[in-house]
A and B are shown apart, each in its own frame.
Chain A
Amino acid sequence: DAGITQSPRHKVTETGTPVTLRCHQTENHRYMYWYRQDPGHGLRLIHYSYGVKDTDKGEVSDGYSVSRSKTEDFLLTLESATSSQTSVYFCATRVSGLPEQYFGPGTRLTVT
C-alpha cells in the first residue's frame, strides 16, 4: 500500500470548464501515473512522471496536462472539459527498479 489518495473522489462539471485532479502519495515513489478507465477500453495511460518536473505523454494524452512540482503530488488538468472526458481516473505509483504499480481509489468525473 503506497498511501495514495486522490481528490476529489467525485466531481460533476460542465463542458468547457477547467478541472484539476490531485494525486498525493506518502511513500516517496519516484514514478507516478494517471490512467482513465472506461467500459470496453480498460485502463489507458494518460500521462506519467519519472521525477519532479519530469513528465511524458501516454496513450490518450490529448486534452490533458500534468504537473509534478513535488515528489508526493501529481496533478492532472483538463484545460477545457468535454463530455468524452467523463470517466474514472486513477493515479498509480511505482518504485524505481520494480514493475509493480500501486493504485489510488480513483476519481469519478462527470462532464455534463
Chain B
Amino acid sequence: TQLLEQSPQFLSIQEGENLTVYCNSSSVFSSLQWYRQEPGEGPVLLVTVVTGGEVKKLKRLTFQFGDARKDSSLHITAAQTGDTGLYLCAGGYKSGGGADGLTFGKGTHLIIQP
C-alpha cells in the first residue's frame, strides 16, 4: 500500500502571508497531482507534475516535485481569502491491472483570514 502524508493537516493564516504545504511518501510515484476542494463540491485539479525536480507555477501557487519523485510541495505567496479550501495531493502509480491508480493524502484544510 502506497501512503501519502500531508502536512500540516490544518493551517489558518492571515491574508497576505505565505505558506507551504507538504506531501511526502516512501514510494516513488509516476506523477503527482494537486487538487483543491471546496465544501459540497468535488476536487478540482490544480496541477500535475511528472518529472523529478519539476517546478510549476500557477499565478501565486508554486508546485514542486521532489527529485526522487517521492514528495511534493505547494507554496502559496501572499495568500488571499479565496485560497481557503481543502488541498489534496495524489500520487499516480502504474497498477498491474486495468487502470492506473491514484493514492490520495488526507488533505490540508487551509483557512485564510481577512
Residues of A within 8 A of B99 (CB): 31, 33, 48-50, 56, 94
- Does B48 sit at the interface, judged by CB under 8 A? yes
Q: Which of B19-76 contact A (CB under 8 A)?
A: 30-31, 33, 35, 40-45, 48, 50
- Does B101 sit at the interface, judged by CB under 8 A? yes
CB distance from B69 to the nearest CB of A (A): 12
CA distance A41 to B6 in the complex (A): 12
Chain A contact residues, majority secondary structure: strand
Q: How many residues of A contact B (CB 8 A)?
A: 28
B30 touches A105 (CB 8 A): no
B101 touches A45 (CB 8 A): yes
B42 touches A90 (CB 8 A): yes
Sorting the interface of chain B by its residue count into under 10, 10 to 19, 20 to 34 or 35 or more gives 20 to 34
- Does B102 sit at the interface, judged by CB under 8 A? yes
- Does A54 sit at the interface, judged by CB under 8 A? yes
Residues of A within 8 A of B48 (CB): 99-100
CA distance A34 to B94 in the complex (A): 18
Q: Which of A83-100 contact B (CB under 8 A)?
A: 90, 92, 94, 99-100
B45 touches A43 (CB 8 A): no
B105 touches A106 (CB 8 A): no
Please tell me which one of the listed residues B30, B41, B45, B90 contacts residue A106 in the complex, with CB atoms under 8 A apart: B41
- Does A101 sit at the interface, judged by CB under 8 A? yes
Residues of A within 8 A of B107 (CB): 42
- The residue on B at minimum CB distance from A49 is B99
- The residue on B at minimum CB distance from A103 is B42
Besides the known contacts A42-B105, A103-B43, A105-B40, 15 further A-B residue pairs in the complex with CB atoms under 8 A apart: A4-B42, A31-B99, A41-B106, A42-B104, A42-B106, A54-B98, A56-B97, A90-B42, A94-B99, A99-B30, A99-B31, A101-B33, A102-B45, A105-B42, A106-B41
In the assembled complex, 21 residue pairs joining A and B whose CB atoms fall closer than 8 Å, in A order, are A42-B106, A44-B104, A45-B102, A48-B99, A50-B97, A50-B98, A51-B98, A90-B42, A90-B43, A92-B42, A94-B100, A99-B48, A99-B102, A100-B33, A101-B45, A101-B102, A102-B45, A103-B42, A105-B40, A105-B42, A106-B40
